[in-house]
Amino acid sequence: MVFVMSHRRALRFAKTVCPICGSKEVARDDLKGDLLCTNCGHIITRRETRAVGKFEVAQHLKREGKLSFKRLQDITNASDDRLFGVLQSMVNMGLIEEFQGYYHLTKRGQRWYRQRLGQEWGY
């Protein structure tokens, strides 16, 4: 028996009208932050920010040692709320710590990062 997993996009309908075709079937792509018309395919607005994940933040902290929120935001090009959410999640998991406005990986965070890279086995 083979299971096939589909990678579906998280789309929610927005209260916007498409300027090209006039359709009210405009969806918001939560992954990218775009508004797009499901009728004609026109991208109405595109955010300049993008999603950021725990692994990407850990990768930058591993390379740089410690980084401020502003520097992480510049490197990842993420919005304030998305980056803050990821950082809070990582703090709650014990992967990073904040000290005097700078974030750095904890020992647990370094191990978590190595496990994701496949350099260390076991949890």
pTM of the predicted structure, to 2 decimals: 0.58
The answer to whether residue 24 scores a pLDDT higher than 80 is yes
The answer to whether residue 21 scores a pLDDT higher than 90 is no
Q: What is the pLDDT of residues 92-119, one digit of tens each?
A: 999 999 999 999 999 999 999 999 888 7
Question: What integer pLDDT is reported at residue 5 of this predicted model?
Answer: 44
110 DSSP 8-state letter: H
Question: What integer pLDDT is reported at residue 15 of this predicted model?
Answer: 75
Q: What is the pLDDT of residues 61-73, one digit of tens each?
A: 999 999 999 999 8
Q: Give dist(CA 33, CA 9) in Å, integer.
A: 11
Alpha-carbon distance values, 82 to 31, 33, 79, 120 (Å)? 11, 11, 5, 29
Banded pLDDT at 11 (limits 50, 70, 90) = low
Residue with tokens 């209260």: 15
What is the number of other CB atoms lying within 10 angstroms of the CB of residue 113?
A: 20
Could you give the residue ranges of the DSSP H alpha helices within the chain?
A: 54-64, 69-76, 80-93, 107-117
Question: What integer pLDDT is reported at residue 6 of this predicted model?
Answer: 46
In the chain, what are the domain boundaries? 11-45, 54-117
Residue range 36-53: mean pLDDT, rounded? 74
Sort 34 into a burial class: Cβ within 10 Å, 0-12 / 13-18 / 19+: middle
Task: CATH number for 11-45: choose from 2.40.37.10, 2.20.25.10, 3.30.1330.40, 3.40.140.10.
Answer: 2.20.25.10
54-117 carries CATH number 1.10.10.10: yes
Question: What integer pLDDT is reported at residue 58 of this predicted model?
Answer: 93
